[in-house]
Amino acid sequence: MAEGSTAGPHGAGDTYDVVILGAGSGGYACALRASELGLRVALVEKSKLGGTCLHVGCIPTKALLHAAEVADSTRESEQFGVNATLEGIDMAGVNKYKDGVVTRLFKGLTGLVKGRGITVVEGEGRLVARDTVEVDGRRYVGRAVVLASGSYARSLPGLEVDGHRVLTSEHALTLDHVPASVIVLGGGVIGCEFASVWRSFGADVTIVEALPRLVAGEDEASSKALERAFRKRGITARTGTPFESVEHTETGVRVTVAGGDTIDAELLLVAVGRGPSTAGLGYDEQGITMDRGFVLTDERLRTNVEGVYAVGDIVPGLQLAHRGFQQGLFVAEELAGLEPAPIDETGIPRVTYSDPEVASVGLDEKSARERYGDDAVETLTYDLGGNGKSQILRTQGFVKLVRRKDGPVVGVHMVGARVGELIGEAQLIYNWEAHPEDVAPLVHAHPTQNEALGEAHLALAGKPLHVHS
């Protein structure tokens, strides 16, 4: 019998303090923290610990992006005085590297969960009562149940994904060759990241996006900077262009867009977002309030059904692994009676790991002006051209600050190589409601890109050094 369970016949029910349905970022974080706080935990997962992020999301895609960076560095090595030749991309080698990263992290996570005494239940779980998850006929009863069933790659009505010519991001991660040409349907984070990878590997890439700009959730200035950079790299971005249909050809696919234009390519990647994985899991039957498949919660991540919580991609909002992770920690601490502070969704950092990277936290300029009024908001943009490390890296971009006049910084937006590594300081600035005058005296190491954040705050505090007024 599993640790923390009660004796009884098969199907009678094993009892825990918390039963978690799904072992992705939100589920396993909740399990680890709850166990650490002395709670008895059952963690139900139909596939592998780590979920989408570890196996078919964040980790493997970022490994591909690093391989793409190595390819670009090799191709452009002469500008640094290094003579090197890019002979080609060995996708078998790339995939071996990528899969090795995933395997090592998976082994580490598996060992960590096992070492905490968490009962891992392998199989597809279903909520059959407000306090019960059933797996293969066996019931696991919890004082609380946490729904963490994650998300899936969406498609569009009438658009059939076959896994050969028409792919989702999961199919794209297992390609054994570099396609000659690709159409990426969707100019959000996933679409832009894969477009960036494939272009670095040598493919011709066209992004088709119905919205007026790429990464539409970011500040407009960031979108424009990314589009300019993509144009320079030879990536075609057709924004404001709705998809109509796709047909197979002898050599690949032909996509028809609004207006009747057609685009031919070897492959079509469908990157139109992710939907909540909630269908058929019993949520509706137990009376949980849903909206288009998403589970609705209050700020303490409670559903409308007592004792049932939800975390991660099934909760409306940013579908980010670190959001789910933090929500999992929050629920574990809530169940342990620690009364944690609610998570400020606006304070969650966002990163698109393309080349160049786009990173942000807080409000964009438009949202800040809508919330506080035009006269109550000011912005400052610091060009990375004035940053020594950015010159060394030969990257272009900016740090844009949005603040309330005579008040705190309410948004930080960055574009450039490696700016995702700067978002840690940026989220502290936002979440601690720092004023520019609070940040200006802080010493940033030289030469680093972190200095760009420091210089931007110096300028916004009225002490500009390398900023042209």
Catalytic residue among 10, 177, 413, 446: 446
313 is in an annotated binding site: yes
Residue 187 among known ligand-binding residues: yes
For residue 92, give every residue at least 6 positions away whose Cβ sits within 8 Å of its Cβ, in sequence order, or none.
Answer: 176
C-alpha distances out from residue 144 to 127, 140, 291, 306, Å: 12, 11, 22, 8
Is 102 annotated among the ligand-binding residues?
Answer: no
Q: Is 171 a catalytic residue?
A: no
Structure tokens at 160: 């059939």
> How far is Cα 137 from Cα 100, in angstroms, rounded to an integer?
35
Is 343 annotated to bind ligand? no
Closest by Cα among 331, 358, 435 to 195 = 358
Burial profile 426-454: b = 16 or more Cβ within 10 angstroms, e = fewer: bbebbeeebbbeebbeeebeeebbbbbbb
Q: What is the DSSP letter of 239?
A: -
3-state secondary structure of 136: coil
Q: How is residue 214 written in tokens?
A: 């790429």
User: Do 154 and 272 contact (CB within 8 A), yes or no?
Assistant: yes
Phi-psi region of 163 (alpha: psi -120 to 50; beta: other; left: phi over 0): left
Q: Is 188 flagged in the annotation as binding?
A: yes
Scanning 159-292, the segments in alpha helix (DSSP H) are 169-172, 189-201, 220-233
The DSSP output letter for 212 is: S
Q: Is 275 annotated as a binding residue?
A: no
**Residue 62, annotated ligand binder?**
yes
Residue 280 known to bind ligand: no
| Residue showing tokens 């792919």 | 167
At residue 295, φ and ψ (nearest 5 deg) are -95, 125
Q: Are 355 and 68 in contact (CB under 8 A)?
A: yes
Q: Does 189 appear as a known binding residue?
A: yes
The answer to whether the annotation marks 259 as part of a ligand binding site is no
Residue 227 · residue 243 · CB < 8 Å: no
Phi then psi dihedrals of residue 423, to 5 deg: -70, -20
- Say which residues have a Cβ less than 8 Å from residue 301's Cβ, sequence separation at least 6: 309, 310, 311, 315, 327, 330, 331, 334
Residues known to be catalytic: 446
Cite the annotated binding site by residue number: 62, 125, 186-193, 209, 273, 313
Cite the annotated binding site for NAD(+) by residue number: 186-193, 209, 273
Cite the annotated binding site for FAD by residue number: 62, 125, 313
